[in-house]
Amino acid sequence: MINTQMKRANSLFILLALVAINSSAQTKKTIPASQSKMDIFINSLLSKMTIDEKIGQLNLLTGGEATTGAAVSTDVESKIAKGNVGGIFSMTTPDKIRKTQEIAMKSRLKIPLIFGQDVIHGYKTTFPIPLALAASWDLSLIEKTARVAATEASADGLSWTFSPMVDIARDARWGRIAEGSGEDTYLGSQIAKVMVKGYQGDNLSKYNTIMACVKHFALYGAAEAGRDYNTTDMSLDRMYNDYLPPYKAALDAGAGSIMVSFNDINGVPATANKWLLTDVLRKQWGFKGFVVSDYTGVSELIDHGLGDLKTVSALSLKAGTDMDMVSEGFLSTLKQSLKEGKVTTAQIDNACRLILQAKYKLGLFEDPFRYCNEERAKKEILTPANIQFAREAATKTFVLLKNQNQTLPLKKSGTIALVGPLGNTKSNMPGTWSVNSDMNLVPSLLEGLKNVGGNNVKIVYSLGSNLTTDETLQINSTMFGREIPRDNRNEGELIKEAVQNASKADVVIAALGESSEMSGESSSRTDIGIPESQKRLLAALLKTGKPVVLVLFTGRPLAIKWESENVPAILNVWFGGIQTTNAIADVLFGDVNPSGKLPVTFPQNIGQVPIYYSHKNTGRPLPDGKWFTKFKSNYLDVSNEPLYPFGFGLSYTTFTYEGLKLSSNTLKPNQKITVTTTVTNTGKFAGEEIVQLYTRDLVGTSTRPVKELKGFQKIKLQPGESKMVTFNLTEEDLKFYTSDLKFVAEPGDFKVFVGPNVKDVKEADFKLVN
């Protein structure tokens, strides 16, 4: 009832505003014909707002359901009532959000709040972590995960998600590599686009779409030494060609907002970086949405060394940060800065306008309770179809790294010894940043294997090893309720028990690797191997002579050279969401054939990091096939090769690639050449293959990478079936930013490569002419 009244009151308010503006327009003729309804409405509203109310809109507070910093917001309700708050994040459910929105509806101008949340890889139906989703290379699948997430989140009161995270990451030490799409600019940009589409649909004001917030702008994934929040110092060449395109792709796809990163960029932290937030974002890219800081990003500028709260708040606003998350620096200092002439009314108005526009586009002025529908929440969250889709999605993300002697798939009979700290935990399965997952709904791997294996399989579980021998490391790696209980018996006893069970089994499944909180925010590691106690367990299991399958849980590329040399089968399963264990069992028992491919390079050892395929050639490249050559660019102690290259992943079947044909060896502007190859399934299982196309620009005014992904196609083939795969290449695909930042393709010689991963490719030559 109250809602209907408020809805009516608000619609009346909009109508009056429109009438007022229209009549004044008729008399004074000051309003350009091009003004949209939205502009008219917001101009009218702005004209009624006090400076305090305007600054209030720039203030984003946390509802406290999940915190990612030391600060928490206090007196939230009284601040809302005074019109001192523009939005709330980390608060869910229609009930709580309705109550909070009602407070805003009682404030003087009844401006609705926007409600945000980190809906990162699904909402309650949690999907695989973003790095895993990238391993599917399946754009329609990824778009659908975002669509389902938006449907569920909007049914639970939310209208804004802090996703997609599109930071390119090439340093596996950085824990947040788990939250993005990996190392590659092209793949990352494609994924960025479809995620925005999935969240926002084609109409933001629809009840089941939410606004995307692209993050973290910019270069957050290039933190020095892989240490979270650390400094970034980067050339314009690398920025424009490698790191910036995914942000731009997401914005070009229509993302309504963008979040600023925590890091220093070439001497100016992003939150106060005018070049980044105004010159690049607004002037070069024409972004029209709003810019929000990260959690206390504004007040952290004090520790960066830019001044006191008043100074850094003014700096941030002037640079282009519109909304201040949690610091309350804008709220507490901007009015004074205005009096002192340090900021202008126009700067405050501009930021306020952008935030009001976002609310308008979401339809919040029309109906502040649009996203609070208890009935929808009951019906549309965690539906059987969504849960089934989560299972299907997870199966597409696993990467089969090794399968000697066809150890996999397993038979649904006999005895399986399931061993390891990841084998019997529910809470560690969904993956980092899954605050909305109900861990009780997540089957453990033990349960998943039983569900799929059926009654003819006997499964015996033993822990075998704690996550790590270091108790403090374990505590820090299992926060937010993601515990893995410790067993206080000594290591020898734990291993003995596991070995005894393994000796009696037909096959051993070793569920090892990282806990889910060993990756994600503030979870960087300097050792990116499987923890040593787990490795000792694995060695003991291998000594039994039983076939061992390593089911590897990880949120980053791990250094697993020893494992890859010694374990017959390795299935990399990342962290796959609430249905991951059923999905793992689907794949282990062969109900689903694995098809994922690595979106990141796996190093041989930590010393190779950062390692990525699209590196430059150097003036002293190592000759092909060589390891060490004096005075060449290489290491004494390890080859330059990765352990597993970008794009790599096996299947239970085998694929061959025949021929690589170009329609012409000359590419002219405004024309295309087609590149074709024939792929055949030469094995016994139906399977999916991800066919990848790379190019190399051989001569130019700037140095270019040795390979760049420019296209990929996922195809499905029955045993014995062949398909011709065709890619089109145009001049557009060959464009890059030159040293004077012109986006051009330079005529000359190119190579094109096609294959199942970046390394095992066939190549051909062509020329771009003008």
Which residues are part of the catalytic machinery?
Answer: 294
In angstroms, what is the minimal distance from the CB of 285 to ligand NOJ? 21
Alpha-carbon torsion, ordered 369, 371, 375, 380, to 10 deg: 180
24-to-11, 30, 387 alpha-carbon distances in Å: 20, 8, 54
Q: Which of residues 184 and 521 has its CB atom nearest to ligand NOJ in the complex?
A: 521
Contact between 461 and ligand NOJ (CB under 6 A)? no
In angstroms, what is the minimal distance from the CB of 216 to ligand NOJ? 6
Q: Which of residues 224 and 658 has its CB atom nearest to ligand NOJ in the complex?
A: 224
Integer Cα distance of 210 and 212 in angstroms? 6
Q: Which of residues 89 and 652 has its CB atom nearest to ligand NOJ in the complex?
A: 89
User: Three-state DSSP class for 35?
Assistant: coil
Q: Binders of ligand NOJ: how many residues, by CB under 6 A?
A: 7
- Binding-residue pattern over the window 164 to 193 for ligand NOJ, x denoting contact by CB under 6 A: ------------------------------
Looking only at the bridges linking them, the beta strands covering 569-572 and 672-681 are unpaired
What are the tokens at 333?
Answer: 């200092």
CB 331 within 8 A of CB 84: yes
Q: Which of residues 261 and 425 has its CB atom nearest to ligand NOJ in the complex?
A: 261
Among 41, 137, 160, 162, binds ligand NOJ (CB under 6 A): 162
Residues 77 to 96 in contact with ligand NOJ, rule: CB under 6 A: none
In angstroms, what is the minimal distance from the CB of 69 to ligand NOJ? 7
In angstroms, what is the minimal distance from the CB of 444 to ligand NOJ? 28
Residues 424 to 443 in contact with ligand NOJ, rule: CB under 6 A: none
Q: Which of residues 118 and 733 has its CB atom nearest to ligand NOJ in the complex?
A: 118
Contact between 294 and ligand NOJ (CB under 6 A)? yes
Integer Cα distance of 258 and 349 in angstroms? 19
Residues 331 to 390 in contact with ligand NOJ, rule: CB under 6 A: none
In angstroms, what is the minimal distance from the CB of 530 to ligand NOJ? 27
Cβ neighbours for 303, distance < 8 A, ≥ 6 positions apart:
none
Q: What is the 3-class SS of 715-744, one letter each residue?
A: EEECCCCEEEEEEEEEHHHHCEECCCCCEE
Among 10, 57, 68, 181, binds ligand NOJ (CB under 6 A): 68
What are the tokens at 325?
Answer: 């998350």
Q: Which of residues 316 and 651 has its CB atom nearest to ligand NOJ in the complex?
A: 316
In angstroms, what is the minimal distance from the CB of 521 to ligand NOJ? 6
In angstroms, what is the minimal distance from the CB of 294 to ligand NOJ? 5
Residues 696 to 735 in contact with ligand NOJ, rule: CB under 6 A: none
Rg (CA), the chain: 27
One-letter identity of residue 258: I
Contact between 215 and ligand NOJ (CB under 6 A)? yes
Q: Which of residues 17 and 223 has its CB atom nearest to ligand NOJ in the complex?
A: 223
> Chain-centre distance of CA 211, in angstroms?
16
- Binding-residue pattern over the window 511 to 550 for ligand NOJ, x denoting contact by CB under 6 A: ----------x-----------------------------
What are the tokens at 323?
Answer: 């909304």
In angstroms, what is the minimal distance from the CB of 88 to ligand NOJ? 12
Contact between 613 and ligand NOJ (CB under 6 A)? no
Q: Which of residues 44 and 263 has its CB atom nearest to ligand NOJ in the complex?
A: 263
- Binding-residue pattern over the window 664 to 683 for ligand NOJ, x denoting contact by CB under 6 A: --------------------
Cβ neighbours for 510, distance < 8 A, ≥ 6 positions apart:
419, 420, 464, 537, 538, 541, 548, 549, 550, 551, 567
Give the dihedral sign, CA 357/358/363/367: negative
Q: What is the b/e burial string over 175-206, where b = at least 16 CB atoms within 10 angstroms of the residue's CB?
A: bbbbbbbbbbbbbbbbbbbbbbbbbbbeebbe
Residues 108 to 147 in contact with ligand NOJ, rule: CB under 6 A: 118
Q: Which of residues 176 and 370 has its CB atom nearest to ligand NOJ in the complex?
A: 176
Q: What is the DSSP string of 356-384?
A: HHHHHHTTTTT-TTTTB-HHHHHHHSS-H
Q: What is the DSSP string of 324-365?
A: EES--HHHHHHHHHHHTTSS-HHHHHHHHHHHHHHHHHTTTT
In angstroms, what is the minimal distance from the CB of 220 to ligand NOJ? 8
Contact between 217 and ligand NOJ (CB under 6 A)? no
Question: Environment class of residue 492 by beta-carbon count within 10 Å: exposed (0-12), middle (13-18) or buried (19+)?
Answer: exposed
Among 137, 247, 295, 750, binds ligand NOJ (CB under 6 A): 295
Which residues are near ligand NOJ by CB under 6 A? Answer: 68, 118, 162, 215, 294-295, 521
